[in-house]
Structure 1
């Protein structure tokens, strides 16, 4: 942990109304910080619908602040969110990729717009309820580490944070188990102690995803083909599918072949052919078209400010995935912009490596950074 003199240090913490940020605020106060809560409103479109709980979350956050004895204010970052996060989210889906808005939200809103606002309030540090850790190395640089609770670690979503951001950030839950967080919430009688964890970002929530995207994206139906080239149906628009998707494809009744026990193998989305507006589907979880031994990533961001020197590292290509051994190579793109890219070659083939998602690199518990997947080694998925 960062060794700081906590006497009268002011910490502005993002309080979402959830249990994690609430307990984080209480812990910081117990540690001697002057704590100010900040509730971020990041979405305004249809936020009065059944799918967005901003009002309820604000009430919960205020109630918690009252119980633990801290001041709280609300700040509206909806314009910044729409410009920096949602616009990119739509561009990626329109291009046939599958973005991760949580990664961009952390880099652009929670640790940029929020950080800037906190500094205007005289903050020495900001804090959030993320499960991760920050450590200052002997050389003086700051490292992003996995949380001790491996099942809740969120360093994957934080990999774009830089030295300036990490130097001002505290993660109170980094060394605590989630079960302990719940116990603390009950012991100090927080009104949201039994509140369920959030399962999505506000602008989507629990609503039907395809219905939501329909409002914002143009789309063109096209053929759905098997690995044998047979047309088995029509897709409703490539933007509405992601690699590895099993549910909602619309061809579940077809039985091209059966597995060893006589059951029909399920269908999966395997490739998107953007040029020909064709969706390729295959049967079987371990079909070769769903497996990749390499990937290439761009929009690179390194926690230390430069690419790692090591060659043998580990990586995640999706959240909650186990770290997988890989060979790392850094280079430059050939698109004339001379932007940094990197290539990962895996010891074992990876399942449904998806363009638009993040490839995040680790050395043990240290998160080194990462990039956005451009290609998974299959020409049809090399989306430009």
Structure 2
């Protein structure tokens, strides 16, 4: 018996056609997290005629009983949504793969004084590699997730796929997906790419999904809402050192370890109101890893916090080809940052230089720079 609810809100005709399965290739496995986005992704695909199977990925289990770990409730929410939609649900444990491919790199980067973005690596290594491989072994023709992004074939290039920004610019997640290559893109559906978040919640509510108003998850996936420094101290030992004013060289206080601070950081320095210094906020501007010194400056617009170029390595270009040099593109050096006009120069197999039309604030080693041509995400690399 088909238990799926009758459609109550329809997508536009073009969007509906994009979700139609191919004849004889109609099995899709949807990564379901327990949130409203992945639930609605599964719902829309079921309505479009796909044979949908939900799959809950367990990627972290070190502290399942911790007050900050929501995986148990997330699984309950995912199972409840699958029951309403009328699809089968499976659970797979990728904790070992996550520790090896994502968390180990996360710790190495922090120990080296950089600020990594583990969500980028989680997407490329777990959600679109381990998950994709597992889904194909189960007989899936496609996988799908609740990411806000779009994938389509490039104009005039059959068989070549492009990653596009979502219609909802405030929720677009292409920044986190820039490391995807042609192989996973060819197998992936993003049903929410043409929808706004408010529409997704409305669809969920009309369908009777209990998670229609569930709060969006924030922060790094395996840390949750817990204090970040407290979590990191479990794995990286405290190593006290001096906090110095870059301009004067004056010692202003003590830090707990350079790995606990990031460029542009203002909170948690505990050096406000230093006697004899102007009453302006302090910001982290540099780290001397050899001498274990944290350098700070005063004022959001201090010249050392502004840069008009960067070097990036560990490059990924979605098409398999680097962008043209000396063309005007846009780039983001952190999620939710407005697109900044730039040129990509000195591209080789290992690195490139990105020059911005206007100085950018607190460009941070370890974060990703992601390059766009209009709505098309070209790829990017890790800031060094």
TM-score (norm 2): 0.92
Report the CA distance shift for 1:148/1:67 in structure 2 as closer, same or farther (over 3 A): same
CA distance in 2, matches of 1:4, 1:310: 38
| CA–CA distance in structure 1, aligned partners of residues 54 and 23 of structure 2 | 18
8 Å CA contact 1:85–1:104 kept in 2: the answer is yes
Are residues 1:347 and 2:366 paired? no
Stretches of structure 2 lacking an aligned partner (at least 5 in a row): 1-14
Q: Is the 8 A contact 2:316 2:379 kept in 1?
A: yes
Instruction: Say which of 33, 50, 55 aligns to 2:72.
Output: 55
- Counterpart of 1:241? 261
Helix, strand or coil for the counterpart of 2:104?
Answer: helix
Mean CA deviation greater in 33-42 or 304-313: 304-313
* CA distance in 2: counterparts of 1:296 and 1:164, whole angstroms: 27
Corresponding residue to 1:139 among 148, 154, 157: 157
Indicate the RMSD between aligned Cα atoms, in angstroms. 1.4
Counterpart Cα distance in 2 of 1:197 and 1:5 = 29
Q: Which residue in the other structure is 2:11 paired with? A: none
Output the CA distance in 1 between the equivalents of 2:191 and 2:264.
35
The secondary structure found in structure 1 opposite 2:210 is coil
Which residue of the partner structure matches residue 313 of structure 2? 298
| Residues 30, 53 of structure 2: 8 Å contact kept | yes
What does residue range 354-373 of structure 1 map to in structure 2 within 5 Å? 354-373=364-383
Aligned partner of 1:283 in structure 2 is 298
**What SS does structure 1 have at the residue aligned with 2:378?**
strand
**How far apart are the structure 1 equivalents of 2:82 and 2:20?**
24
Other structure's SS at 2:103 match = helix
| Alignment partner, residue 286 of structure 2 | 271
Alpha-carbon distance in structure 1 between the residues aligned to 2:60 and 2:23: 36
Shift, 1:218, TM fit: 3.1
User: Does the Cα contact within 8 Å between 1:6 and 1:31 map onto a contact in 2?
Assistant: no
Q: Secondary structure at the match of 1:242?
A: coil
1:92 matched to 2:125:
no
Contact 1:52 1:202 in 2 (8 A): no
* 1:15 positional shift: 0.2
Partner of 1:39: 56
1:191 maps to 2:210: yes
2:199 match = 180
* Structure 1 stretches of at least 4 aligned residues deviating more than 6 Å after TM superposition: none
Q: Is the 8 A contact 1:6 1:33 kept in 2?
A: no
User: What's the CA shift for 1:7?
Assistant: 4.4
Q: Which runs of 5+ in 1 are unaligned?
A: 259-263, 333-338, 375-384
Query: CA offset at residue 329 of structure 1?
Result: 1.1
Match of residue 215 from structure 1: 234
Is residue 327 of structure 1 aligned with residue 343 of structure 2?
Answer: yes
Correspondence 1:96-115 to 2 at 5 A: 96-115=113-132
Number of positions where the alignment pairs a residue of Structure 1 with one of Structure 2:
363
TM-score, structure 1 normalization? 0.92
- Partner residue of 2:4? none
How far 1:257 moved relative to its partner? Answer: 5.0
Please report how far the alpha carbon of residue 202 of structure 1 lies from its aligned counterpart in structure 2 after TM superposition: 3.7
Take 1:345 and 1:220, find their aligned partners in 2: how far apart are those partners? 35
- The answer to whether the aligner puts 1:318 opposite 2:334 as a matched pair is yes
Q: Distance in 2 between matches of 1:116 and 1:318?
A: 29
Distance 2:307 2:116 in 1: 19
Retained in 2: the 8 A contact 1:330–1:340? no
Contact 1:16 1:57 in 2 (8 A): yes
